[in-house]
A and B are shown apart, each in its own frame.
Chain A
Amino acid sequence: MSKPLSITDLPARCFQGVAPTVIATCGADGIPNVTYTSQMYLLDDGRVALSCQFFNKTKQNVLATKLACLQVYDPVTFEAYRVVLRYHHDETEGPFFESMSRRIDAIATHTGMAGVFKLRSADVFDVVSVEKTENFMHTIEDTSSPLEPTQLKWKGELYALQYVSKAMRLPRDVGSLYTATLEALEHAVGFEHSMILLPDESGKRLYAIAARGYGESGIGAEVGFGEGLIGTVARERCSLRVSGVGAELRYGRAIRTSVQRSTGGRDLRPEIPLPGLVDAQSQLAIPLVADDELVGVLALESPRPAAFEPWHEAFLEIIANQIATAIDAFARREKDDDEDDDEPVAAAQSPSQAPVECTRTLKLRFFKSDDCVFNDDEYLVRNLPGRILWKLLGEHVASGRTEFTNRELRLDGSLGLPALRDNLESRLVLLRKRLEQKCPEIRLVPVARGRFRLELECPLDLAESP
């Protein structure tokens, strides 16, 4: 026998797409149909919404007979629940629809199917009955599993918030702010893989300014607006959480394969390699907005399915607001520093002496067509940080200068810094980190607010290509 439950009695992870839900329907002709649902949202204690991407038999049946029966699984215990639904209406706009649509768009763009694979409607159902399917599994003593949501190192949400908030208050520069924030998120809440991405000067792409838990591959990683989860969050300025990334991508790829067979793939773009863990199962991305402008994206990942819960999203939105405000404050302070910076730019100084042990010459090449700098044959940096590096190295070779100011970079029209919110200090942070990783013989050492020194360990050989 099964006991009646409310839909809200089911563990939240049942609705996160990790273990897909089965849906049975029946046509007016009495012929049953059974398949998997793509996405299911819990709206309240009496309603759920199911995604409808294709006008398929399931949709035709619920329009005809109104009823559906779900078998919902707990991805941690594989316990099953029987849920009977009565179709109420479908929505093609509004908050449910938009929320579902954004998640589907994120997967569609990742799998190269933007516009091909999209949400047709969010179908709203009343919950008629909910039962646990008794005896679906043997009773066993211990149902714990590595699928359990992130075990927090927290001492309460408020403590974690206080800890992260305090860590963010201490940094003296924007680079330390990013690093301290990601460190605090790991220490206080246990998020081991996190990134902060900022929009570049084109306003069409984001680049990772700070990354934790990705080795050397995180910093500098790029993603276009509207591409994948992070790009969709940037474009839509709303948070997105995906709990079964692998499952969602497999579903998307299945549709892609099906479209390729029927159309020859004419409408499909290549699948986009995105920054992050190759085996990510959970992703959460939050927009950083200050003064009604997108200043970045905070992105977290986990190799565990259903690692992020609704409260994590709420918690991180508070943190994200603080990060955004801090980024904005640093950017404004940078400009103010420029105004106060009346000291003359350092005059020509003797070139920094290369240490005796340095026996090689750094061969750097600048490609004008895409503003890329290569160290020998290895890509170093591009776009604005690439142009900045090339200017500094060129000036050094021409005049021996080693000291530079942010202000002179801002005044140099050839660099193409945006007039508003140029994020120059963040660009310099990215450049410093790329140099540390890929070319430690060149260092940009801050000497005062808005000033830095170029330090070289080897002689330079600079060349340019079209």
Chain B
Amino acid sequence: MVPELGDLFESGVSILVGTRDAALVPEAMRGCGAVVHADRQHVTVFVPTIVAERTLANIRDNGQVAVCFSRQIDHRTMQIKGRVREVREAAAEERDVVMRYHGALTDGLAMIGMQRSTLKPWNAWPATAVEVEVEKIFSQTPGPNAGEPWTGGRT
């Protein structure tokens, strides 16, 4: 994963988390922050604990996860797919990551006309940290090539 992607993932983009249960029933939720590991093969995605019950149950069941990162202003979108290696309660020192993300997401959504005050009461913390081993990366910016595997060029 190139540094440019890491910057995108750790910015205020919308983070969408997709999982599924044993019966292949999918689940969608919003993430509340991400940290790309130094090895660039792993990403920790944070999810608000209070609304993550189904997502976490799905992860414990099969470990499959898709995470979509979408920049609000121009729809630049990437999706990673992989397996969850660890699920844990986010540590106190990671609260800053989540709070920074909450602020950056608010900035991103304010740029496209949403009210800052609307997003203020989002229950992003306490969060659960989900460590994902990235197996595949897809470019998902809307268009005829959406869904193509990312080959390392411009997304």
Contacts and interface: CB of A to CB of B under 8 A. Distances in A.
Given A22-B28, A32-B26, A54-B146, A257 B74 contact: yes
B85 to A, nearest CB: 16
For chain B, the bracket of interface size reads 35 or more
B87 to A, nearest CB: 16
Given A30-B64, A75-B114, A281-B113, A250 B74 contact: yes
Contact of A145 (B29, B64, B118, B140): B118
A30 B24 contact: yes
B95 to A, nearest CB: 16
A251 B114 CA distance: 16
A144 B66 CA distance: 34
A33 B122 CA distance: 24
A39 to B, nearest CB: 12
Majority secondary structure of chain A interface residues (helix, strand, loop or mixed):
mixed
Given A135-B50, A136-B51, A34 B73 contact: no
A234 B20 CA distance: 45
Given A32-B26, A35-B140, A71-B29, A254 B118 contact: no
Contacts of A84: 25
Nearest to A27: B24
B127 interface: no
Contacts of A172: none
Interface of B: 16-20, 24-30, 48, 50-51, 62, 64-68, 70, 73-77, 79, 81, 112-115, 117-119, 121-123, 138, 140-147, 154
Contact of B141 (A32, A65, A80, A257): A257
B144 A34 contact: no
Contacts of A262: 143-145
A140 B117 CA distance: 11
A299 interface: no
B123 A259 contact: no
B118 A77 contact: yes
B69 to A, nearest CB: 10
Nearest to A21: B28
A251 B24 CA distance: 30
A34 B16 contact: yes
Majority secondary structure of chain B interface residues (helix, strand, loop or mixed):
mixed
A24 B77 contact: no
Given A140-B121, A254-B143, 19 more contacts: A19-B114, A22-B16, A23-B28, A24-B26, A24-B66, A30-B20, A30-B62, A32-B66, A54-B146, A54-B147, A67-B26, A75-B114, A80-B30, A135-B51, A136-B51, A137-B121, A254-B76, A255-B142, A257-B143
A140 B114 CA distance: 18
B112 A136 contact: no
11 contacts: A24-B18, A30-B20, A31-B66, A32-B18, A34-B18, A34-B26, A54-B144, A135-B51, A253-B74, A255-B143, A258-B144
Nearest to A83: B28
B81 A36 contact: no
Contacts of A305: 113
Contacts of A246: 112-113
A56 interface: yes
Given A30-B62, A250-B112, A281-B113, A135 B123 contact: yes
A33 B144 contact: no
Given A23-B28, A24-B27, A262-B143, A31 B64 contact: yes
Contacts of B143: 54, 254-255, 257-259, 262
B8 to A, nearest CB: 15
Contacts of A261: 145, 154
Interface string A56-72: 11000000010111110
B70 to A, nearest CB: 6
Among A76, A77, A255, the most chain B Cβ lie within 10 Å of the Cβ of A255
Contacts of A80: 30, 51
B16 A38 contact: no
Nearest to B17: A34
B75 A254 contact: yes
A345 to B, nearest CB: 57
Among A23, A56, A67, A254, the most chain B Cβ lie within 10 Å of the Cβ of A254
